[in-house]
Structure 1
Amino acid sequence: MGIQTALRVVYPPRCLSCGDAVESDFGLCGPCWRDTPFIIDPCCDACGAPLPEGLGDVSGAVMKCDACLDHPRPWVRGRAALLYEGKGRDLVLALKHGDRHEIVRPAAKWMARRAHFLLAPQILVAPIPLHWTRMLKRRFNQSALLAEALAHELGLAYCPDLLQRPTRTAQLKGMDHAARFQELEGAITVHPKRRHRIAGRSVLLVDDVLTSGATLHAATQVCLQAGAKDVRIAALARVAKEA
């Protein structure tokens, strides 16, 4: 306790977003919490995008956003913790490109609150993989960090290398919907030594950002082909309007 007290004197807790002093580690100050676009119900049952207020009053109804109605998802349910805008976008980019790994722990807690809607018996958590060249450049897979922390938070089984990305794809930013899905075709596979872990069970795929859903679509398809009972998805952030 003495060491912890000394550390707090030297390194007092700071807001993850603005750096102002806060009461506890891994937190947001009041103004940043208020300005962070957390997603609350009602939301799309497939991708987690927020829906207009009032739709949540329909008891037992499965609600979907326009994007998921126009392009049905192969997974059964999905949730996201934040909108990918404002401080939500800043936090994602700080983790992804700023080596701000301290964001993982609170992000997993935010995701866990939303992921309770997705749980199923014996569900297996796995991240969206990176191609080895991107892994070499970035040094870590932010989706894997989030997936591991989320699995720990919820007490679920975790498989970091369930999926592989043998093909390096082009950056999806700027591509239209059809081009994104075509680019990801065949780019993700199931690790041949992990196929036995999928058969007959639900899989929870974790990614940092859901935009068009092309990457998660490709990953879901290979899980289903490998014998998964079904697939659910969890993302830290959801782009409200698809690019």
Structure 2
Amino acid sequence: MADDRRPHLVVFTGSGISAESGIQTFRARDGLWAEHPIEEVATPHAWRRDPERVLQFYNRRREQVRRARPNAAHKALAALEHQGFRISVITQNIDDLHERAGSRNVLHLHGEILQARSTVDTRLRYPLPRGGIELGDVCDKGGQLRPDVVWFGESVPHFAEACDIVAEADLLLVVGTSLAVMPAASLLDYVPLDAPSILVDPEAEALAPPGVTRISQPAGKGVPDLARHWRREGRLWVPEALLG
């Protein structure tokens, strides 16, 4: 493997970046999540109790994801990568908007809604380019298929890999997350001491931990603004012009 000594931008995204593409967050007061308490559609207990309800909920979310389009923030990150910046994206989101924008190095902490997973062998995954999952849809071993997402109360299988990526960051950019969902929020503990961290979020002043630079803007404005500064200078830095 070639030794890549380019500065490494690690981007950690949450539901706020996808919300700007029309995908509702589970904390929103309207939309799909408001109609369904989390414990009834997004937990292992809910799956055991009423799998059909869970499947139909995620089928609706899946159609919402398919209708959504990458926004300016997704596109700005992908453009930076294609212009030669070394970028790794770690996302809490289960949509594919980063990939559709053109990002190539994306790690989904909480799974991918456009995939189905076997309930008897977690290694068996199947893409869902269209349609949904119904009761009776089974894997190659005969087990019922479920959404390939991490439910509340389940472990996060890629968390260790995400920690390793963050530990190699020269700059960490956090976008559109409340930093409230664990263990994902603890990723900031793995940032190297000499690597700056930036949070872009409308509520950044209230959400950012000490030592994190705050940019209180929506992702669709704050991320493209940062990308323009980095492209112009050809390097990663914290532009004072965007602070405050």
Question: If the length of structure 2 is used for normalisation, what is the TM-score?
Answer: 0.31
Q: Tell me the TM-score normalized by structure 1.
A: 0.32
